[in-house]
A and B are shown apart, each in its own frame.
Chain A
Amino acid sequence: MKTAAFGDYSRQILDNLLEGCQLIDFEFRYLYLNKAIIKQSHKTKAELIGRTMMEAYPGIDQTEMFAHLRDCLVDRTPQMMENHFTFPNGQKGWFELRMEPVPQGVLIFSIDITERKKLELHLRELDSLKNKFINIVAHQIRTPSTVVRWSVENLLEGVTEPVTAAQTQVLQAIYQANNDIITRTDDMLMTIEIEEDRIKPQKTPLKLEKVLASVLQRIMEEFKTKNITLDIIYPAALLPAIQADQHHMRSVFDKLLRNALIYTPSGGTVTVSLQLVSKAALRFAVKDTGVGIPKADQAAIPGRFVRASNASAVQPNASGLGLFVADYLIRAHGGHLGFISRKGRGSTFWFELPVKA
């Protein structure tokens, strides 16, 4: 019976296949087993040949694998699955199974993927450990940053005693650097939340022009200091309120405006506009006369930690997370973010959001 299944030549090939191979008949009896499957099965050939699967592995008829096998036997349809198998001694293994209907029953090919599965699991554990680590570090950084921020604010406002113009300049430098630490920590944390798919916008009816105005108010001074002209094109008519997360929208405006501020040289112009482009969509755009993004780098933006090749010359230390975060937040609101750019001429970053999300 066992030799009748295949010709001698095919038999020889199957015997030496690295993949496990077994032939099961319509009564779930083992008709043929190659060398690899004997190794995978933790049993000897004599213990299996001629026996049913239920005799060899009691309870196997209750498994998902068995259901697939039955489908293959009855419906004559090929099946594929990953099988998490527990051996009678309690040991566990993962196998990738392919079941092919043949005249004698079903031919099952199996690859032992236990090692790969263990590695995958290990990798997932490491990934979660990495995220936990960053979370802890970020929190540890935020607390002293807050102390610096609030203390410097106190000094700048002359709450304790008046400060001189020269002292103010120093304090402002400290303040700015500290705010950079806070923003980057925020981006890092946001990236983890994104990776773990935990960002859920808390939507409320929002007047986008109001949010933009408040962000602009905070950043305007920095444009003036760098001698960049800031042109603001206000919407021609009142904009409809949209359903959006205020904190997320502030963050997106801030990131796009800051990018323009950083990459536009002194004497340049940045044009900001917010308008209704159709009945259904609002469009925000920031056009700068900055360094632009080389064509070769454009496809990778906005990726995680991705920066254009000419970005470091302008701003050596930045994380390349800002646009990644902005893009994600806009998509989480059902919109999309894009840009057009020419190296040396400038960039326009824009996003569109649906009015009814």
Chain B
Amino acid sequence: MSKTVLLIEDEKSLSVLLRNRLMAEDCEVLTAANGAEGLSVALNKHPDLIVLDLLMPEMDGITLLQNLRQDPWGKKVPVTVLSNVSDMEHVFRSLNEGAVDYLIKADWSLDATIEHITDRLDAPVKT
């Protein structure tokens, strides 16, 4: 059975690039364009992995993570942060809230990013 990834990313072009490549890898892909939408999709659809941007309208990624971790299912779902913010404060706060990875988009090729996401789906890290 194919696994489901939820992409929470407000930059449309990046979201489309990621979605197309993940679909080519036989993933089911859900997308959300802001934090509030992302949280609601996550809690309704229970994806296998969430790929989360941090700076977004409506609700930022860290607030979303905090809310997600209040939910019995949301407590355990693996979350990979994929952001272009790299200051230590954001990194530490995300990892404290139980993100399993913190990737800086600009430093990762599309290939490597996709590989990383599919690896996570195959062997999820327990949080």
Once the chains are docked, how many angstroms separate the CA of A135 from the CA of B85? 8
| Chain B residues within 8 Å of A157, by CB | 111
A209 at the interface (CB under 8 A from B): no
The answer on a CB contact under 8 Å between A199 and B88 is: yes
The answer on a CB contact under 8 Å between B88 and A150 is: no
The answer on a CB contact under 8 Å between B106 and A146 is: yes
Once the chains are docked, how many angstroms separate the CA of A139 from the CA of B104? 11
Identify the stretch in B10-18, B34-42, B60-68, B70-78 within 8 Å (CB) of chain A at 4 or more residues: B10-18
The answer on a CB contact under 8 Å between A139 and B88 is: no
Once the chains are docked, how many angstroms separate the CA of A159 from the CA of B20? 10
The answer on a CB contact under 8 Å between B105 and A146 is: yes
Cβ proximity bits A39-69 to B, threshold 8 Å, 1 near / 0 not:
0000000000000000000000000000000
The contact of A139 among B13, B85, B110, B113, by CB within 8 Å, is B85
B84 at the interface (CB under 8 A from A): yes
CB proximity of B113 to chain A, nearest CB, Å: 8
User: A151 and B17 in contact (CB under 8 A), knowing A146-B84, A198-B88?
Assistant: yes
The contact of A150 among B55, B84, B104, B110, by CB within 8 Å, is B110
CB proximity of A213 to chain B, nearest CB, Å: 16
The contact of A193 among B11, B17, B55, B87, by CB within 8 Å, is B87
| Chain A residues within 8 Å of B96, by CB | none
CB proximity of A205 to chain B, nearest CB, Å: 18
8 Å CB contacts to A: which residues of B85-127? Answer: 85-89, 104-107, 109-111, 113
Q: List 11 A-B contacts (CB under 8 A).
A: A146-B14, A147-B17, A150-B109, A153-B109, A157-B111, A159-B20, A186-B86, A186-B106, A189-B87, A192-B87, A193-B88
List A residues at the B interface (Cβ < 8 Å). 135, 139, 142-143, 145-147, 149-151, 153-154, 157, 159, 182, 185-186, 189, 192-193, 198-200
List B residues at the A interface (Cβ < 8 Å). 11, 13-14, 17, 20-21, 55, 84-89, 104-107, 109-111, 113
Lowest 4 CB-CB distances: which A-B pairs, in order? A142-B84, A150-B110, A146-B105, A142-B106
